Chain A
Amino acid sequence: MSVVDRPPSSSEYEPRFAGGYDLTRPEKRFVGQHLFVAIVALMIGSLMGPLQSFQFSGVDLYPYLDPIIKSYYQGLTLHGVLNALIWTTFFIVGFTAFTTMKGLGRSLSHPRLNQFGFWTMVVGLVMTAIPILTNSATVLYTFYPPLKASWAFYLGLTLVVVGSWIEGWGFFLTLRAWRKDNRGVRSPFIALGGIINAAMWQIATLGVAVEILTMLLPWSLGLIDNTDPELARTYFWFTGHPLVYFWLLPAYVSWYGMLPKQVGGKLFSDSLARLAFWMFLIVSVPVGFHHQFTDPGVPQTWKWIHALLTYSVFFPSMITAFTVIASLEYGARKNGGTGLIGWIRALPWLDPSVAAQLLAAILFMFGGIGGLTNASYSLNLVIHNTAWVPGHFHLTVASAVTLSFMGISYWLVPYLSGRQLWSPKTALVQAWTWFVGMIIFSNAMHVLGLLGAPRRTPLGDATYVPEEWNGHLLRVSIGGGILLVSVIMYGVVMVKTMRTERVAAELVPTVPIAEPIRSAQLTPVWLDTFKPWLIAAALLLLIAYGPQLVDQIWNMNLNAPGPDSTPW
């Protein structure tokens, strides 16, 4: 029973919530820089998305963008890279820097290391953006070889990832320093959650790092002539699926550790919040073959094993559903909410930050159900690479994640800049328009997918479109139009907020940090320790990926040169 650090009854050992720690001006600026890049990327990328949706109804606005954007696919590449990779990564790293400092109640232990990481990411972003904007990397965000982009595109993406690794090391070192000063104290959840995510990211991105450094970069530089496209797909999806949990877990940090406070409640279970995060650390990565069910070159057995492992992600998701909803209910009932579901009305729906995150979570339930379909070894055949898939991930990354991040920014940007949110009403309308637009868009995309419409295709030009698709194609455009209005409103709220005068410190929003109902100090030590979980992650990875990956690398056939001329 040596794990009992200190008797829990003594008030001296109450967990120390660092809610009182105020970031210094340079620290706030540092976090703000991440958000600035993220939001600029989101704005540019999101202007492209609706153009794709309008094209579906035959309204092709791309010719008007010439010579800046030359094709639907260049626009789609921008949309995917900027929204799915840049907006998310910069926001997440910035937010994790914030939750690490705020949660632990101290500065980063190696601020220069983190600054170096940030600027590496920025240099990477610029290197990635130039070839995309000059139409020499119109390869979409999956960049499947032998589609060959400019070497700068691959190197740029590598630097973005490496920069995010370096920042992650800064977070680990900060946690280690904190632990040294706080022996026997449970690490605050918002800090631990963000850092678990950073650890998962370091494991997950090994796949794409190997893909780029050993195959795509040498190939684009002319050092090797050919690629092994199937091996590249296996590398890519090693990273590609955990990528979605990398996006999601920061939103979970907020849903578990902040949103309950915003609704006047507490975190229902600190233990289970941590358990869910640890489970995501171990089961996020060894599931990538469920993106390759329809791939030649991967045996059915491995696909099936990954299908089962993917389903195990269902378990922490179910814990999350219960714990987050129970935390919200706790707050709502304290605010006078009653009834079996009537308490939902007692949540502060008029707070744009709360509304955005609640709506994001509602959309995520449907995203999760669709995800179970995608992960099904057999059902996947119906929807793989159809319009269903973008329909699905617009409920997850573009709603659960993006709308939550927007909601977070509604208090975080004012906090960091020492201002108040400009026009909370506009922000509230923004959240609802995103919700409504996404329901229309996403539902139509799901239906189109079931009818057989391919993804990544300008369906407005397709000759094989039957009559019955037309109504759904129109709904895609309408949804896209509403989302365009919504994202512009978001940009306006952000810009206007930054243009207001700074206000007195007591008028600036405080950082919501939810206390757990049961003291975190009562949470078992094994739920606050990296080692066993990292070992479990490595073992599971070795079992689930080792044999097939070794086989594919061992039998590597670099024999695909790609077409003679640029295909886009």
Chain B
Amino acid sequence: MSSGEDGAPDQLVEHLSMGIDPYEKNWMRASIILLVIFFATVTVAGFSMGIQVVGADAEVDPRIVTDSGPWAEPGVRMIRPGEYEAYVIAQTWAFVPREIVIPVNSEITIHVTSPDLQHGFKVTDTNINMMVVPGQVSTVTYTFDEIGEFPYICHEYCGRGHVTMAGVVKVVSSVGEEGTP
């Protein structure tokens, strides 16, 4: 295909090309650059800025999960000063416990599971946001560095009482002020 006298090759080239307008070509290049920037920022933000997305941590049997082990006595426990863990049951239509009290600047690891339906666990004004799925344990670690009340709200439809399903994280200046966890 190289006759090259009467413009036929040119026509063929055009025939095979996509015929993209130069402006649009630049637009597409810019889009790809933007895309790479998005990839990079999302990756950096997701893995090196202390943001924690829930993963595959532990599985439980929702039929017996509340019978024994930590889920039999949900609540907050101090592991060592400044480090806490909480086991939270999300069930129709309440969180147990309804209150998590911890001192400011302490790190807490929260485990949530459900014995019945799917629920949600989002602590307002924080990056804690997890689905609660029967059979799975949702785990997140977070440091509360501000004194205040942070409601946790069920954000997945779970029946007629869904709207009442909420609790609160109370971050206090020192433990014992509002009841020892």
Contact = CB atoms under 8 A, between A and B. Distances in A.
Interface of A: 1, 3-4, 7-9, 71, 73, 140, 144, 146-147, 228-230, 233, 268-269, 271-272, 275, 292-300, 303-304, 307-308, 311-312, 314-315, 318-319, 322-323, 326, 372, 376-382, 384-386, 451-452, 454-459, 461-464, 518, 522-524, 527, 557, 559-563, 567-568
B11 A7 contact: yes
B80 interface: no
Interface in B64-116: 92, 116
Interface residues of B, number: 71
A459 to B, nearest CB: 8
B147 interface: no
A271 B132 CA distance: 46
Interface string B38-64: 110011011101010111110101110
Given A233-B133, A295-B131, A1 B12 contact: yes
B18 to A, nearest CB: 4
Contact of A3 (B16, B92, B136): B16
Contact of B31 (A303, A314, A377, A455): A314
Nearest to A523: B18
A547 B96 CA distance: 35
A453 B145 CA distance: 23
Contact of B117 (A378, A454, A563): A563
A21 B130 CA distance: 54
Contacts of A4: 12, 15-16
Nearest to B12: A4
Identify the interface centre among B28, B54, B128: most chain A CB within 10 Å of its CB.
B54
B112 to A, nearest CB: 8
Identify the interface centre among B21, B137, B139: most chain A CB within 10 Å of its CB.
B21
A454 B155 CA distance: 5
Interface string B19-35: 11100100110011011
B167 to A, nearest CB: 9
B56 A296 contact: yes
Contacts of A292: 131
Nearest to A139: B157
Contacts of A459: 163
Given A147-B117, A297-B133, A454-B155, A559 B92 contact: no
Contacts of A303: 53, 55
18 contacts: A7-B11, A73-B159, A147-B159, A230-B136, A294-B130, A296-B56, A297-B56, A318-B27, A319-B31, A322-B27, A377-B43, A378-B42, A378-B46, A381-B51, A452-B122, A462-B164, A523-B19, A567-B92
Nearest to A323: B24
Contacts of A376: 42, 45-46
B20 A385 contact: no
Contacts of A559: 61-63, 134-135
A298 B138 CA distance: 11
Contacts of B14: 8, 522
Nearest to B16: A524
Contact of B162 (A228, A322, A451, A456): A456
B63 A297 contact: no
Contacts of A271: 18-20
Contact of B35 (A7, A299, A311, A568): A311
B124 interface: yes
A295 B117 contact: no
Contacts of B57: 296
Contact of A229 (B42, B61, B134): B134
A454 B122 contact: yes
Contacts of A567: 92, 116-117, 158-161
Identify the interface centre among B18, B130, B139, B154: most chain A CB within 10 Å of its CB.
B18
A49 B18 CA distance: 45
Given A269-B19, A455-B155, A229 B46 contact: no
A228 B43 CA distance: 30
Interface string B146-181: 000001011111111111101000000000000000
Contacts of A462: 163-164, 166
B125 interface: yes
B108 to A, nearest CB: 17
Contacts of B28: 315, 318-319, 322
B136 A268 contact: no
Identify the interface centre among B134, B137, B154: most chain A CB within 10 Å of its CB.
B134
Given A230-B136, A296-B131, A462-B163, 11 more contacts: A7-B11, A147-B118, A233-B133, A294-B130, A298-B55, A319-B28, A381-B129, A382-B129, A385-B156, A457-B162, A560-B135
Nearest to B44: A378
B32 A568 contact: no
Nearest to B45: A378
A512 to B, nearest CB: 23
B34 to A, nearest CB: 8
Contacts of A452: 122, 124-125, 151, 153
A377 B49 CA distance: 12
Contact of A454 (B15, B42, B120, B159): B120
B163 A457 contact: yes
B35 A228 contact: no
A144 B92 contact: no
Contacts of A308: 39, 42
Contacts of A382: 127, 129
B105 to A, nearest CB: 21
Contact of B120 (A9, A272, A318, A385): A385
A311 B42 contact: yes
Contacts of A384: 122, 129, 155
Contact of A562 (B11, B55, B116, B155): B116
A456 B157 contact: yes
